Structure 1
Amino acid sequence: MRIVYLHQYFFTRTMIGVAGNRSYEFARRLVAMGHEVDMVTSYTHATRDEPLEWFETNEDGIRVHWLPVPYSNKMAFRERIGAFLRFAIGASRKAASLDGDVVFATSGPLTIAIPGLYASWSRGVPLVFEVRDLWPEGAIQLGVLTNPLAKWLARRLERLTYRNARHIVALSPGMRDGILAAGIDGGKVTVIPNAADLDLFHPRIDGASMRLQNGLDGRFCIAYFGTMGLANGLGFVLDAAAELKRRNVSDIVFMLHGDGMERPILEARARGEGLDNIIFSGPTPKHLMAELVSAVDVCMTIFKNVPVLRTCSPNKLFDSLAAGKPILTNMPGWLGSIAEEEKTGVLVTPDDPVDFADKAIWLRDHPQELKVFSVNARRVAEEQFSRDVLARRLETVLRQAAVKSEKHSSTRIAPAGE
């Protein structure tokens, strides 16, 4: 099977970027299964004056087509929209020039649907669309997308894509519910969550040297790994740090590891409030992250308290589970159930720094419970979120879409309202 795989932000384990490496991990496994994969992506580290010319590399058997389009989580919203549209236009031409039995487009951004639909229509092959976040609803609830015309256009694109995709992949049960709420039949949607890289993260990895390097000896460290953006709501962590400082708790420290547009704001606030129980570090390529994750005591999965974000499927959670790390999250729903029902960690009350501080102290004071959480975390990673198992599930979805296409002589673009 020939797969044209569209993802604006493709990164291998050795690259530092603005997104996780789900596309890389799945694509290399598809290649190992005997399929041909053309990845159409952007080179986000390009300079603004770099020519908009495609170049090609081979990454573990994946043919990767790169278009230089600068992008950073620190960009203003208008700059991001410009990057989305530049890539969408260039990727439409590139994707349509590639032979494939199926087009697989993964969002965000939602604009990846434009080259996905165009390639599907022009080549007469099916589109499988992957929903990593419920956009534009997320941008609307976060207050980022406010223009009425822009909201209308984004919602039209969302529904046009859902209706014309042969199949849709959702990254969480909540995302599936959001897709069904748009009028899509449940038989058209498969949940394939983010996955645990069981070969990279493991409880047996020794993090002692990283503890020394980061000044964590004798301190109980609760760490966040990932993007520091508006959606992540990491001011909540600083609120909890301030509460612990008010109580004169000096042996609990929060590590914020990564980058993003909110990091300078968070750093300035931590300095201004004298929060010496906050450590900023990173970012780091994923292949070097395992030892650092093993060095901390608990891993956080934190989001801004916005309803749509409760549907998220964050990479950081699954890496933490694979490493056997207890989980602390402020997200009720699916993520909270993984912590509480699977007994892998604790759920803190959103927007309640007192409860956050109480739970941090409880975790520090209950080492036996932490051991239970750790064992359960690795078990859940192996039983529910194995990257190899989920890659085979994706391969089945793509293969069935391609087989169904052979039974239809043409691919038709249906209006968004059909």
Structure 2
Amino acid sequence: MRILVVSQYFWPENFRINDFVLGLQEKGHEIEVLTGKPNYPKGKYYSGYSFFGKRTEIWNGIKIHRAPLFRRHNGKGLNLAFNYLSFMIFGTLRSLTIKGKFDHILVFQPSPITTAIPAIFLKWLKKASLFIWVQDLWPHSVTAAGGIHNKSIIKFLDSLTKWIYKRCDKILIQSEGFRNIINEQGIDNSKIEFYPNTVETFFKKTAINNDCLSLLPNGFKIMFAGNIGEAQDFETIIEAAKIVAQEQPDIKWIILGDGRKKHYLHQKVLEYGLEGNFILLGSFPVEKMPYFFACADCLLVSLKKDFIFSLTIPSKLQSYLACSKPILASLDGEGANIVKAANAGFTANAEDPIALASQVIKLRQMPTNQLVEMGENGGRYFQENFNRDVLLIKIIHLFRQFKQENK
């Protein structure tokens, strides 16, 4: 099959869609990608890219069509709005230059939902089926993480989302929690298919790497990897750390990543005198994450208390499970339910620092063999539910099934 993937974000930016298209190619399919100019997460064009430069390139045999894109700068307000709108407009214009027929078009849709607009145009232009893989629910995620509460804007975004969904042939959802919301937006259940995220094959149980270990302190190591943003609720994490430090000063919180809340976190660490407990290491290549995880005693995932976040499976959760490490979860809903179902760690309700601190101390007091068992439980759960090869076979089956049903 010839498949066109439409995603505002793509290599060299670190998103799961990169490995996904490589997987489809490994299965013998011809893949092309329509995307923007890479500038996530720092808001600056990556080296070698500019607004006008590099319209087309080849990556691992995959042809990439790049549309001009306004940089996201600090990722706030009008900067982010112009970033989103620019891909919608320039991506649609860029689609006019993409040659050849395609059997299917797949939209990878974290925020924004407007990523699908060029794909809808391409569906009409290429007479191909259109699948959308929903990672964020709109407009709900905008109000939860983006701080937009203007009723007129929310109503417009809701109408736009419904319009987009109705023009898609199949809606893939990363969490079963999304189904009812999309049903309520007027979409028939027969169009919706549960299709969770998987992870790159390098996420697996790994031996301790001495180079990574040398960067870490002694003590019981709780590790967080990913975006340091509003949604991740670092307010609760830092308050829990303050409580824990009084009872278990050897517990260390290691943060790998970057984001708009990093300055806030750094300031709070200084304010609370937690410089010896909090280690902010910054960003590393995603391929190094399993080696860092191997050095940790447990892995932390967190989200704010919000109805929409309770429906979401945080993508880092699959990474953690695949690496067979105990998980400490400060969140509600679907993500917490997976940790419990896997018997892979401990959970605390979102935005409850006292409960989180209690679970940290409980983990610290557990014998090593029980921690290892928890990690192994998570690894097995991953293989049974999120295995990369199984999910690639499933999407190929869905493509073929749709084609047969619509001959």
Alignment check: 8 A CA contact 1:7 1:112 kept:
yes
1:54 CA drift (Å): 4.9
Q: Deviations over 1:286-310 (max 9, x none)?
A: 1122211111111111001111011
AA of the residue aligned to 1:43: K
Q: Separation in 2 of the partners of 1:22 and 1:192? A: 14
Structure 1 regions of 5+ residues with no counterpart?
Answer: 408-418
AA of the residue aligned to 1:262: K
1:112 CA drift (Å): 0.6
Q: Between Structure 1 and Structure 2, how many residues are aligned?
A: 396
Query: What's the secondary structure of 1:231's corresponding residue?
Result: coil
Query: Is 1:148–2:151 an aligned residue pair?
Result: yes
Query: Is 1:126–2:126 an aligned residue pair?
Result: no
Alignment check: 8 A CA contact 2:72 2:83 kept:
no
User: Aligned runs of 1:379-394 on 2, under 5 Å?
Assistant: 379-394=380-395
Match of 2:256 in 1: 257
AA of the residue aligned to 1:75: G
1:53 CA drift (Å): 4.6
Alignment check: 8 A CA contact 1:73 1:260 kept:
no
| Residues 402/63 of structure 1: CA separation in 2 closer, same or farther (3 Å cut) | farther
Selected match of 1:159 from 152, 159, 162: 162
Q: Separation in 1 of the partners of 2:360 and 2:187? A: 42
Structure 2 regions of 5+ residues with no counterpart?
Answer: none
Query: What's the secondary structure of 1:232's corresponding residue?
Result: coil
Match of 2:75 in 1: 75
Match of 2:117 in 1: 114
TM-score, length-scaled by structure 2? 0.91
Q: Separation in 1 of the partners of 2:202 and 2:162? A: 37
Q: Which has the higher contact order (CA 8 A, sep 6+)?
A: 1
| Residues 93/398 of structure 1: CA separation in 2 closer, same or farther (3 Å cut) | farther
Alignment check: 8 A CA contact 2:31 2:62 kept:
yes
1:55 CA drift (Å): 2.0
Q: Separation in 2 of the partners of 1:47 and 1:382? A: 37
Identity %: 26
User: Aligned runs of 1:57-68 on 2, under 5 Å?
Assistant: 57-68=57-68
Selected match of 1:105 from 93, 104, 107: 107
Query: What's the secondary structure of 2:214's corresponding residue?
Result: helix
| Residues 70/368 of structure 1: CA separation in 2 closer, same or farther (3 Å cut) | farther
Q: Separation in 2 of the partners of 1:221 and 1:74? A: 31
Q: Separation in 2 of the partners of 1:310 and 1:361? A: 25
Q: Deviations over 1:277-331 (max 9, x none)?
A: 1111221121122211111111111001111011222221111111101111122
Query: What's the secondary structure of 1:34's corresponding residue?
Result: coil
Alignment check: 8 A CA contact 2:143 2:149 kept:
yes
Match of 1:210 in 2: 212
| Residues 283/70 of structure 1: CA separation in 2 closer, same or farther (3 Å cut) | farther
Match of 2:402 in 1: 401
RMSD between aligned residues: 2.1
Query: Is 1:319–2:319 an aligned residue pair?
Result: yes
TM-score, length-scaled by structure 1? 0.89
Q: Separation in 2 of the partners of 1:327 and 1:67? A: 39
Match of 1:26 in 2: 20
Q: Separation in 1 of the partners of 2:199 and 2:107? A: 21
